[in-house]
Amino acid sequence: MTYESLEDACKTALEPLLNEGLKTLKSYGGEFSPDSFGQFPIQYPAVMICVAGLNNEAKGNMDMQDLEVVIYVADRNLRGEDDARHGAYHTMEQARGKLNRLGINGAGRLALKSENLVGYSRKLNLCVMQATYRLKVQQPAFSN
């Protein structure tokens, strides 16, 4: 399994949300980091995905890998903070329904680890949340 194939599997699972009001579904490229928050033209609501990390533990001739997939959910509403936050909640719940316990071909199932508020911009009426999913994979150890 590659990072790209894991990210693609998540995107594929979320694609039906594009017919339910989601406007942007893409790989995360730092759009919500503190130095670029609100500076990218994005259609909202939006979901962005990235593989954020891997922990590996060697056990005999097997590697036990624990991968983390992070999604960012963002919504903007000109009516204000409450409506933007409620829109982000709704999109997060939709994404959770598609990703939590998602079977990944030959690798196992994604499991929700946490969901958190990243931030809110009153100036932009933009709310951003983050969810972290884990995938535990056992595979033969890499050899040189």
* pLDDT tens-digit map of 60-102: 888 888 899 999 999 998 888 889 999 999 999 999 999 999 9
Beta bridge partners of 27: 49
What is the reported pLDDT for 100?
96
Residue with tokens 């884990």: 134
Mean pLDDT in residue range 54-63: 84
Domains contained in the chain, CATH given: 3-140 (3.30.2000.10)
pLDDT band at 45 (very low <50, low <70, confident <90, very high): very high
State the burial class of residue 68 (Cβ atoms within 10 Å of its Cβ: 0-12, 13-18, 19+).
middle
pLDDT band at 107 (very low <50, low <70, confident <90, very high): confident
Mean pLDDT in residue range 29-55: 82
What is the reported pLDDT for 35?
65
